[in-house]
Amino acid sequence: MLGLIPFGGELTGHAKDILMLEKQQQQQQQQQQALGHVERDMAGATVGSYIISRALKYNMAKRLVLLLLLPLLLLLLLLQVTWRGPL
C-alpha cells in the first residue's frame, strides 16, 4: 500500500481504484454479515409460522395449544432455574 502513494502524498489513479475496491469489499462484507443475521431471524420466524399454519390447516387444536404452551412452559422453567439456581 505504501508503494502506491508517491512522495508528494497524492494518490495516483491506480491507488484510488484499489482503495475504492477495498472499501467496496468491506461494505459488501458488512452487508453480507447483516443479511446473515436477518436470514437466521427469518428462518426462526418461518419455522414457527409454518408449524402454526400446518396446525390450523389440519384443525389440530390440541397440538396447536401444545405447540404454543410447551415452549412457554419451558421458557418459564428456564427462567425459574436461572433465577433460583440449578434444581
16-30 burial, b for 16+ CB within 10 Å, e for fewer? eeeeeeeeeeeeeee
- pLDDT, residue 51, reads 73
- pLDDT, residue 10, reads 62
C-alpha cell at 28: 459488501
Per-residue pLDDT of the chain (87 residues; tens, 9 = 90+): 455 555 555 666 777 788 888 888 888 888 777 766 666 666 666 777 777 777 667 666 666 677 777 788 888 887 876 666 665
Euclidean distance between the first and the last CA atom of the chain, given in angstroms as a whole number? 59
Torsion angle of C-alpha atoms 45, 49, 52, 57, degrees rounded to 10: -160
DSSP-based three-state secondary structure for 9: coil
Question: Distance (Å, rounded) from C-alpha 36 to C-alpha 49?
Answer: 20
- pLDDT, residue 32, reads 76
- pLDDT, residue 43, reads 63
